[in-house]
Amino acid sequence: MTIILVHGGAGGAGPERRDPALLAAVRLGLAQACAAGQRRLRAGASALDAVAAAVEVLEDDPVFNAGRGCALTRDGTVELDAAIMDGASGAAGAVTGVGVLRSPVLAARLVMERSGHVLLHGAGAEAFALGMGAERIDPSWFVTARARADLAAWQAAEAAAMRGTVGAVALDAAGRLAAATSTGGLTGKRPGRTGDCPVIGAGTWADARVAVSATGDGEAFLRAHFAGRVALLVEHGRGVAAAADDGLELVRQRGGTGGCIALAADRTWAMPVTTTALRRGLAIDGEPPRVAVFPEDELTPV
């Protein structure tokens, strides 16, 4: 059995509840990401290949806060973060503060496989990835009208909606797990800010037992060592759903909200959330992808 879970971010449900066209676009984007990863798994590819393919689709979709459509800093600039981890080998790679790489998750994979490091930042990360063949793109490509409107609302001291993050976890036919996460961060963040997404053990983790990708208030997830904590609980016998719930409770105690997707080697999975939306999807073997946005919703085909 192969399984892939994706998420398109936790946060407020207001935009999708007010705009049926946006809701439909979010659901379609989640299904397309699931399908991209599922195709890799059905062809015999690794879980690592599947999560990279799924997250790359979400990065290219302007309705999500990763790659195109990302949140903007208070200066109106683009600073993207991503991470990827292979549960079979324990290898991991991440980039933070990049702005000219079309696919941050693929840059993170290059860091993992070809740099000898785990985390590269800013211009150094860009130079390395471009030298390895990553696609360069003008930063203006990432900026959408929605991102500008969110920044304007933030600058006017209005509450800009949490845009979340994107991510994927997968289990392949050989029983290997992997996780990947990518984000544009917070609207109005200070230039140079890094949240939990690219920090291995905070927003992203995979080992032989469980794979986790988180979304929400990054500072609280960092302080909770969220993904690593969930993995440690699973290692000590907790079910994946209970472990994820316990992790989110600590995030709450640290002053944050959010959600995650978590997938265990025993084929159990969880998608808990403490906000009014978790954009999420699931595909198992050859079944059609199923998606949901609001916490009360069942996963259904698009």
DSSP secondary structure string, 148-203?
HHHHHHHHTT--PPP---EEEEEE-TTS-EEEEEEE---TTBPTT---STTSBTTT
Which segments in the chain show pLDDT lower than 50? none
- In this structure, are strands 92-98 and 119-121 parallel, antiparallel, or unpaired? parallel
Is position 165 annotated as part of the catalytic site?
A: yes
Task: Single out the residue of 85, 118, 121, 84 nearest to residue 101, CA to CA.
Answer: 121
Domains by residue range for the chain, with CATH:
3-292 (3.60.20.30)
Q: Which of these is catalytic: 2, 73, 96, 165? A: 165
Q: Check residue 158 and give its pLDDT.
A: 67
The pLDDT of residue 12: 87
pLDDT of the residue at 13: 86
CA–CA distance, 95 with 80 (Å, rounded to integer): 8
Digit-coded pLDDT (tens) for 104-161: 999 999 999 999 999 999 999 999 999 999 999 999 999 999 999 999 999 998 665 6
User: Which of the 8 DSSP states describes residue 100?
Assistant: S
* Strand order from edge to edge, sheet including 210-216: 204-206, 210-216, 258-264, 269-270
Collect all residues with Cβ–Cβ distance below 8 Å to 237 and sequence separation of at least 6: none
Cα separation of 294 and 28, whole Å? 15
Strand partners, 263: 211, 269
The maximal CA–CA distance of the chain, rounded, in angstroms, is: 52
Predicted local distance difference test score (pLDDT) of residue 139: 97
> Which burial class, exposed, middle or buried, applies to 140 when counting CB atoms under 10 A from its CB (0-12, 13-18, 19+)?
exposed
